[in-house]
Structure 1
Amino acid sequence: MTTHTIEPSSPPNIAQPNCLLNPPTYPPLSRRREETGTVLISIMIDKHGTIESATIKQSSGFKHLDQAAREAALSSQCRPWLKNGQPIRTTSDIPFIFKLEG
C-alpha cells in the first residue's frame, strides 16, 4: 500500500496548498525486488494551481520508485496558493512513501 502526504514549505502568511494528489503506481519490478522507501518531490504550482514541474529532491535510492512518485506528482491537481488573497506561483515538497504490506 502506498501513502502520500503533503508538507508545504511556505511562510506563515501564505495559504497552504489544497492538492488532490494521485497515488503513485507501485512499479511491478520494484514490488518483485521488494524495494521500499520515501521519495521527496518538489513541485512548482503556477498561479492557476497547475503543477508545472516536479523534481526529485530526495531519492528513495530506487530509480523506478523515484520515477513513479514524480509521475504521480505531475498528474495531481492543486488549487492556487494565495498570498494576501491573490494567487501566486510557489513550490511545495511532497513525500511519497512506498512500502510493502502483508
Structure 2
Amino acid sequence: PAPPAPAPAPPAPPAVQLPSTDADYAQSCRPVYPSMSKRLSEQGRVVVKVVVGADGSPKQVEIKKSSGFDRLDEAAREAMLRCRFVPGKVNGVAQSMAYDAPVNFVLNNN
C-alpha cells in the first residue's frame, strides 16, 4: 500500500504590522498644551486608544488611561483626531485596527 499523504502544512501566521504615526504626519499629532494647564503646572501622560481606518484616518478615539487632568486628556484626544496614521496591515493589506497612542504633557521650566 502507498504511504499516507503528508498532512498539509499549517498556514503561516498572518504578518501583522500595527498602525503608526508617520514622521511626515507627526506635526499634526502634536497636542496643544492647554494654557490653563500650563498656569496650574498640570503634567501627565495620557494613553489614547485610536481605531485607525484602512485609509489611515482615526475612526474612533477614546481615553484609555487618563493623565488625571481633564484638560490634558481632551487635548490629547483632539490631537489624535487631527492625526493621520500609517494604517495597520495584515499580510500587506491595510486594515482597520486599534492602536494605543501615548501622549506626554511635560512642562519645560526654562
> TM-score scaled to structure 1, two decimals?
0.83
Greater share of helix: 2
Over residues 26-65 of structure 1, what are the superposed CA-to-partner deviations in whole Å (9 max), with x where a residue is unaligned? 0011000000000000000111111111100000000000
| Runs of 4+ off more than 2 Å | none
Please point out which of 11, 29, 32 is paired with 2:39. 32
Amino acid at match of 2:38: R
C-alpha deviations, 1:56-92, integer Å up to 9, x for none? 0000000000000000011000122110121111000
Alignment of 1:32-51 (within 5 A): 32-51=39-58
Which of 20, 44, 50 is the aligned partner of 1:18?
A: 20
The number of residue pairs the alignment matches comes to: 91
In structure 2, list runs of 5 or more residues that go unmatched: 1-13
Match 1:74 to one of 71, 77, 81: 81
Specify the alignment match of 1:97 in structure 2.
104
CA distance in structure 1 between the aligned counterparts of 2:56 and 2:35, rounded to whole angstroms: 31
TM-score (norm 2): 0.77
Q: Which moved more, 1:80-89 or 1:13-22?
A: 13-22
Q: For the pair shown, which has the larger CA radius of gyration, 1 or 2?
A: 2
Q: What's the C-alpha RMSD, in Å, of the aligned pairs?
A: 1.4
Secondary structure of 1:25's aligned partner: coil
Give, in angstroms, the shift of residue 16 of structure 1: 3.0
Give me the identity figure in percent.
Answer: 35
> Contact (CA 8 Å) 2:37, 2:72: kept in 1 or not?
yes
